[in-house]
Chains A and B, each alone.
Chain A
Amino acid sequence: MLKLGDFRAIFLVFGLAGVLLFASPSFGLFLHLPQGEKFSELWLLGPEHMAKNYPYNVTAHADYFVYLGVGNHMGSPMYYGVYLKFRNQLEPLPNDTAGAPSPLVPLYEYHAFVEDGKSWEVPLTFSFSNVSYGMNQSLVGSLSINSVAFNVNKGTSWDDENRGYFYELFVELWIYGVESDAFQFHDRFVGIRLNVTGNV
């Protein structure tokens, strides 16, 4: 048979557990548990809303279509700057290791506000015009993004290995810092390689 001292211990344990149970809703006011990893997503999807059939061989005066999206897992609402840039094979992409953006001037930009755990997505159309070829060189005069025409005047040489005149349309993700009151590169970028050719 259990002794009185044993029963006292059982009552004490039971009492302590009960008091903790009642106090547990208030723990959240004083204890701040660590959150999961904070990150943002950036994606480009093809015309079927899947990661395939991206525009590749493109010609002047034809419209091409992709989806551009951002996902927020930063733990609070975020203000994103999404910058579209266009480069030839010699111009630099963002530097992954240094976390530095491409020095190219953005052609087009979006202002996106995304709640935590949610995403933002828009259709993106583009087309080329004033494209000329000669002496193993191609020159893109104008690039229209969502029907807004930009003078790019960018040239590239014939790539013998991959057989094409290659350019890249890429997107950088920037984030607005409340403390700094400025946009900072968020070390995310994605792009599509385009062979601007007249022979499709």
Chain B
Amino acid sequence: MKYSHENIVKVSFLLLLVLLVFTSSVGSAFCTATSDEASLKLSEAESALRRAFVAVLDAERAGADVSGLMLELNLAGGNLTWAQNAYRSEDFSGVAGAADQCSSLADKIVSGTSLLKGSALAEAQDSEWRMLAFSGIGGLAFALVLFLVWVMFRRSYSRKLLGSKPEVGSDA
């Protein structure tokens, strides 16, 4: 079988064309996959961060000191900021990683808040009871002491009134 020079050139050209088409389609598919993956990770991170904020807000409403958690939220928010802005500028490398980091920080915050919220609620309840006890017992004791003072005062007042001699005025 003879291969002419022309045929070899034709076959080589065809192979090169197939290779080019294959490379571009794989490259495009890879880029789309990267972009899709980044977009998915970003929306996961956004949801995770919102959940974390709601959990921190709940803990704060229960009376917990959330200063530390707010710092952690800002750290997670920083990762999301970086990831979103990189995505917008079409630089997809590192977006998924930063979004993942945001999600894991957010999850850590959520698990931290449940403990904090529990202890804050217990502390708040204790404090409420203490306050109610102070008001109830204190108010009652004060009223009782005042009543006793009143009884003693009334007795001494009556005694003083009965013991006093009537003054008789004279027109002389």
Residues of A within 8 A of B (CB): 4, 7-8, 11, 14-15, 18-19, 22-26, 29, 76-77, 79, 107-115, 120, 145-146, 148-150, 176, 178, 181
Q: Which residue of A lies closest to B71 (CB)?
A: A113
The 8 Å CB contact of B142, one of A18, A26, A146, A149, is A18
Q: A23-B139, A76-B61 are in contact. List 16 more A-B contacts (CB 8 A).
A: A4-B157, A4-B158, A7-B154, A8-B150, A15-B147, A19-B139, A22-B134, A22-B135, A25-B135, A29-B132, A77-B53, A77-B70, A79-B53, A110-B81, A111-B49, A178-B54
A86 to B: closest C-beta gap in Å: 12
Of residues B56, B81, B86, B128, which shows the largest number of chain A Cβ atoms within 10 Å of its Cβ?
A: B81
Cβ of B88 under 8 Å from chain A: yes
Cβ of B118 under 8 Å from chain A: no
The 8 Å CB contact of A77, one of B56, B84, B138, is B56
Cβ of B66 under 8 Å from chain A: yes
Of all A-B residue pairs in the complex, the 9 with the closest CB atoms, nearest first, are A111-B77, A22-B138, A22-B139, A113-B73, A26-B135, A19-B139, A23-B135, A18-B142, A79-B53
Cβ of B170 under 8 Å from chain A: no
Residue numbers in A under 8 Å from B146 (CB-CB) = 11, 14-15, 18
A28 to B: closest C-beta gap in Å: 8
Q: Cβ of A107 and Cβ of B70 under 8 Å apart?
A: no
Q: Between A and B, how many residue pairs show CB distances below 8 Å?
A: 94
Q: Cβ of B154 and Cβ of A4 under 8 Å apart?
A: yes
Q: Is the interface of A mostly helix, strand, loop or mixed?
A: mixed
Residue numbers in A under 8 Å from B81 (CB-CB) = 109-111
Residue numbers in B under 8 Å from A22 (CB-CB) = 134-135, 138-139, 142
The 8 Å CB contact of B85, one of A8, A18, A109, is A109
Q: Cβ of B61 and Cβ of A113 under 8 Å apart?
A: no
The 8 Å CB contact of A25, one of B131, B142, B157, is B131
Residues of B within 8 A of A (CB): 49-50, 53-54, 56-57, 60-61, 66-67, 70, 73-74, 77-78, 80-81, 84-86, 88-89, 91, 128, 131-132, 134-135, 138-139, 142-143, 146-147, 149-150, 153-154, 157-158
> In the bound complex, what is the Cα–Cα distance between A132 and B49 (angstroms)?
41
Residue numbers in B under 8 Å from A107 (CB-CB) = 88
> In the bound complex, what is the Cα–Cα distance between A175 and B26 (angstroms)?
41
The 8 Å CB contact of B60, one of A29, A77, A79, is A77
Q: Which residue of A lies closest to B161 (CB)?
A: A4
The 8 Å CB contact of B66, one of A15, A24, A115, is A115
> In the bound complex, what is the Cα–Cα distance between A64 and B54 (angstroms)?
36
> In the bound complex, what is the Cα–Cα distance between A150 and B91 (angstroms)?
10
Q: Which residue of A lies closest to B84 (CB)?
A: A109
Complex A-B: 12 CB contacts under 8 Å: A4-B157, A11-B153, A15-B143, A19-B142, A22-B135, A23-B139, A25-B131, A29-B128, A110-B81, A111-B77, A113-B53, A146-B85
